[in-house]
Amino acid sequence: MPSTTNDTNNNIEYKHHNRSFITFPLPNLICSTRILLFALPSSLFLAFLVLISFTTQITIGDTLVSVAFSPLRMARNIQEFGANVRGSERPLRVMTFNIWVSGANVKDGLEKIAKHIKKVDPDIVALQEVRTLETAEKLIELLSSTRWQYRQHPLALYPDTAILTKHQFIDDEQYLHLQFVVKQNISAEYLLLQKQQNEDDENKNYTNSSITTFGMGATIWLKEDDPEKKHLINFVSLHLDWRAYGPYAANNKKVNETTQIMAGERNKQGYGRGQNIEQVLSNEIFRRYMKNAEIQPLIVAGDFNSPSHLDWIEETKDIHGGWIFEWPATKLIMDAGLNDSFRALHPDPIKEPGITWSTVQKTSGPDWDWTIPEPQDRIDFIFYKPNEHFWPTNSQVYSGKEILKPMPEHYNNDWPSDHFAVVSEFVIDYKVEKKRNEEKEKEEEIEVKEGNYYEKSDENNSDILTFVNNSELTNFS
């Protein structure tokens, strides 16, 4: 899959392919040509950009290798987001950020996570690989602002997902506390590994270690100039199962049937990525989010550990081991009515691959002396439920300004993750939303009269709310 490497010291993006084939980033050529091009007339410079674009294939031993290089392109500046917002329209900037086990794999990782959140300046952040219950709280302290709040599951040994916002979470249990956690069973071996990774937390209580998550959601009040709490958004952070990574199977020469790849997406144990999304879509509170999406925008963001079915198509099969494949996680969520914000704005996966895996893992580990190419792909997403008053205006991948060293020389990198973050900006048109809110108020009056209400569930001692007497949800589609 085409990959993106940023040399943002000069605001330049280099596009290359590195999924089912090897990419040569040509660093020496780039450095030397910059010096040369500085003195060239603009016409010769443009001609040079055309001439250096190429894609070819060579054979190294038994391995078919594709080599791709495309023209230099000016990177979009995140700080330019929101420039075209008008009148009643409000920009909303969202970031999804896999923080690589709370930044544990780079020097001063947690501080660097906070630094880059400050640079992007998002309204809401979906976090994944949150290592401990203390991680989000420490990030809030490092962000040095009383505006920031966070939510995560309060009992999980390994929280994994969390949500940060500069706005305000709605914790009214009677109506709008829609925070939910989706659960899966995990092995005793995995729990032991997590306990070993948290040995510094000697006083941690592991009695609730059976609780784990791959996602959570919350309702957020966009409180500026909104004393009546009309401007609400439902937001979900997901981290789907990491095991049996599909592109590894797709690039295995002995895999010759789609059922072999699909076995990792829908496994017998029930925790495959396709099954993860089915659990999300069937969750009662998520269905409530979907039902209300016309008046309360819905965003689902996170690390899916899966490519997109929009990217593995006929035009790109040569860089995906020859496969065209409908990855179920992304297809299910889009079939349910959500859109991919990045691909909505950049529909061509060849011109705009949007690679998010990986910033540093370009080859295999030390067992093969870092010689086998690591499949690169777009596996981090920001989905949204489209409607007439809510739409995306910008979307890009982000990894800071400094050039990143690949593994195993990554420890001093400025960027603290092995994923690119994704940043999308949306517009909310409050003129249209006002009309929708008025219609919703009438609906809620009818619901109260019919006896619909929320109540707290005691199952597993979780702080989860369920919708009672919700017959209208059973027919949700």
Sign of the alpha-carbon dihedral angle for 205, 208, 212, 215 = negative
Structural element, H or E, at residue 455: strand 453-457
Distance from C-alpha of 195 to C-alpha of 369, rounded to nearest angstrom? 30
pLDDT tens for the chain, residues 1 to 477: 333 334 333 332 323 333 332 333 333 333 333 333 334 444 444 344 333 333 333 333 333 333 333 333 333 455 545 444 444 578 999 999 999 999 999 999 999 999 999 999 999 999 999 999 899 999 999 998 778 999 987 776 788 999 999 999 987 633 332 233 444 444 555 455 555 555 554 444 444 444 567 889 999 999 876 777 778 999 999 999 999 999 999 999 999 999 999 999 998 888 899 999 998 998 888 999 999 999 999 999 999 999 999 999 999 999 999 999 999 999 999 999 999 999 999 999 999 999 999 999 999 889 899 999 999 999 999 999 999 999 999 999 999 999 999 999 999 999 999 999 999 999 998 776 565 566 666 665 544 444 333 333 333 333 332 222 222 222 222
Helix or strand holding residue 414 (H, E) = none
Other CB atoms closer than 10 Å to residue 87's CB: what's the count? 8
Q: What structural domains does the chain harbor?
A: 2-69 (no CATH), 82-435 (3.60.10.10)
- In degrees and rounded to multiples of 5, residue 322 shows phi and psi of 85, 5
**C-alpha torsion angle, residues 53, 17, 38, 35 (rounded to 10):** -120
Tell me the C-alpha distance between 209 and 189, whole Å. 12
